[in-house]
Chain A
C-alpha cells in the first residue's frame, strides 16, 4: 500500500512536470488555428479552431522579410541545409580527428586533444568578429558554405569519439592488420560500424545545434535569401496567429529528425548489448 502511494506520488510529480512543458505548446498550437481577431479579443485559446489550413498555408508561402523576397518555405529549406551540413560535417571531422588522435603515433596527442577540448570554453560569440572577417576575406558571406563551416568543428563530438575509440581493444586493430586491413580500411570497416550508435546520437545533437543557430547566420548573411527559420522567428512580422503558426512549424524539423533517427539509435544500442 505504501508502495502504491509513493509511486502514485512520483507519478503525480512527473505528470505536473509534463503539463508545465506541454500546456504552453498546446496553447500556442490551439491559438494558431484561430483567426487573429478571435485571439485579439479573447486571448490565448485552449481548443482547436477552424483556420488551420488557411493560417499555415499563408505562413509557408507568404513573401516575408524586409524586402518581401523570402517565404517561410525557403527558410525551412535554408535551415535544413544548414543543420544537415553542420551535423554531417562535424560528425565526419570529429570521427577523423579522434581517429588520428587515438591511433596515429602523434607526439603530444593528449596535449593536442586538450587544446581541441578547451575550444569548448571559447564559444562562437567570443570569436564571432574574427571568424566573420575570415569569411568576408574568403568571400563566403551569403553562402551555405559560410553558414556551415565555421561552426562545424565540434570538440564535444571529438571527445565522445575519442573516448569510445580508447575502449576498442587493441587486439581488434592487430587482428585486422594481420587480416590485411590498412589504416583506412580499419576506420571504415571497424570503427565506423562499431560507433554507429554514437554517430547517430551525434548527428541528432549536431543537427539540433545547427538548426538552433541564430547569431552566426544573422551576421554572415545580408541577403534575405539565406535567412533561416530561427532568424525568421525574430524577424517575422504579421499577425499573431501567423507568428504562432510559424513557431509551431519551426519545432517540426528537430522533432522529425529525432523520430527518424531514433529507430537506428535504439536498434544500435540493443544490438551492441
Chain B
C-alpha cells in the first residue's frame, strides 16, 4: 500500500449531485500530485475528502497505513492551503503560524523555534507582528504556506492557491512552491484548473473530468500520449486542433486529405487531433491553411487561420519566421504525431 491510497472513493452530496465517481488513486511518499480539470469537475471535492472536510459517501481513504474515513480533520495531520488563504484575520502572522502548534500542546520555545524557521524559509520574518490585512497578496500566500509547513504534516493539500494572484506573481509563487516542496519533501496534492500550472508542478498529474480521473501519469506521458479526446484538448496550449474524419482499412480520410497506413483496426467516425507545434511547412503538404491572424510571442508565432472547409486551425512556428496575414501555408504533420479518437466515445484508437 502506498502512502496515500484512495479506493473506489465516491461522493454524493446531500442534494444528489454525484461529484466524484468510484475513484482509485495512489500517491507515493514525497510525491507531488496535481489534480487538474475544468471548474466543477470534482477536484476540490476529492481533495476535501482527503482532508476530512467532506464525508466520504463510499470507498476508503488510507493515509500512512491508517484508515481515515472516520478520522476527524483535526486528527488527520494534514495541512491545507485555501484559494482565499483563510488566514486568521484577528491574529498576527506569528500567531497564525503558531496556532496549530499551540493546539497540540507544544511548549513555547519549540513553537518559537519552528515559527521562526518557517518564517525564514518563506522570507516572512519581517512581518511576523503584522495582521493579515496589512499584507499584500503574495505575502498572504506565503503566510498560508507557512501555516502549512510549520506543523510538518503528513500531507500538504493545495486548493487553487495561486488563482487570486496576478499573472507574474503566480508564476513566481509556482516556482517557489515547487522548490519548497522539493526542499521539505512532503507529499503534496495540488488542485488547479490551469493546465500550465499542472504541467510545471506535477510529478504526476490526474486529469479529472465530470468526477472521473480520465488519465493519470507524468506530465510528459499525458502530453505525448493522451488517452482521450478530453485529455488531448485539455492539456497543451494552444489547444490541439481537432478535425472530423473517417477511418476505414487503416486509411483516414479527413477534410481535404488522407493519411494511409494508420496503426489501428478501428473503423468509423473519428476525430483527428494535431497539436499546433507538431506541424511544419513544406511544398505540397497535407494541410492548406489560409492565415487570418498571427500572434507574435517572440520565441514563437501562433498562426491562426482557416482550412479549405472553413474550419479554425492553429499552427505554431518559431518566432524568426515571418508569416503574412492572408497568405496560404502548406503544412505537414511532423513524425506522424497525430492522435485519432473514436468520435462517439472519445477514446484514443491509434
**A-to-B contact residues, CB < 8 Å:** 169, 171-172, 174-182, 185, 189-190, 193-194
B89 nearest in chain A by CB position: A194
Q: A178 near B51 (CB under 8 angstroms)? A: yes
**B147 CB-CB contact with A under 8 Å:** yes
Instruction: Give the segment of B18-26, B77-85, B195-203, B295-303 that binds chain A.
Output: B77-85
Asked if B346 is an interface residue, CB under 8 A from chain A, the answer is no
A134–chain B nearest beta-carbon distance, Å: 40
Find out whether the CB atom of A178 lies under 8 angstroms from the CB atom of B89: no
Residues of B contacting A194 with CB < 8 Å?
89-90
The 5 closest A-B pairs by CB, nearest first: A180-B103, A179-B100, A171-B86, A175-B86, A193-B90
Q: How far is the CB of B333 from chain A (nearest CB, A)?
A: 47
Check A175–B90 contact: CB distance below 8 A. no
- Could you tell me the dominant secondary structure of chain A's interface residues? helix
Chain A contacts for B76, CB-based, 8 A: 178
Closest to A194 in B: B90
For residue B73, CB closer than 8 A to chain A, the reply is yes
Cα A181 to Cα B74 with chains together (Å): 7
Find the B residue at minimum CB distance from A172: B86
A179:B86 contact, CB within 8 angstroms: no
With contact pairs A174-B73, A175-B80, A175-B82 given, residues A181 and B103 touching in the complex (Cβ less than 8 Å): yes
A-B contact count (CB 8 A): 55
Decide if B99 is an interface residue (CB 8 Å cutoff): yes
Beyond the given A171-B84, A179-B74, could you list 10 further A-B residue pairs with CB under 8 A, ordered by the A residue number? A174-B51, A174-B80, A178-B73, A178-B78, A179-B99, A179-B103, A180-B104, A190-B88, A193-B90, A194-B90
Assess whether B121 is interfacial by the CB under 8 Å rule. no
Smallest Cβ distance from A188 to chain B, in angstroms? 12
Q: A185's closest neighbor in chain B, by CB?
A: B103
Who on chain B is nearest to A182 by CB? Answer: B74
- The count of chain B contact residues (Cβ–Cβ below 8 Å) is 22
Question: Do the beta carbons of B103 and A178 come within 8 Å of each other?
Answer: no
CB neighbours (8 Å) of B73 from chain A are 174, 177-178
- 17 A–B contact pairs at CB < 8 A? A169-B86, A171-B82, A171-B84, A172-B88, A174-B51, A174-B53, A174-B73, A177-B52, A177-B53, A178-B73, A178-B78, A179-B147, A180-B103, A181-B74, A185-B103, A189-B99, A193-B90
In the complex, A172 Cα to B99 Cα: how many Å? 13
Q: Report Cα–Cα, A177/B86, bound state, in Å.
A: 12
Inside 8 A of A179's CB, which chain B residues have their CB?
74, 99-100, 103, 147, 151
- Closest A residue to B83 using CB positions: A171
- Write the nearest CB–CB distance from B215 to chain A, whole angstroms: 30
Taken residue by residue from 65 to 81, chain B's Cβ proximity to chain A (1 for < 8 Å, 0 otherwise) reads as: 00000001110101110
Query: Across the two chains, which residue of chain A brings its CB closest to B48?
Result: A174
Of A172, A174, A193, A194, chain B has the most CB atoms within 10 Å of the CB of A174
For window 97-120 of chain B, which residues contact chain A by CB distance below 8 Å?
99-100, 103-104
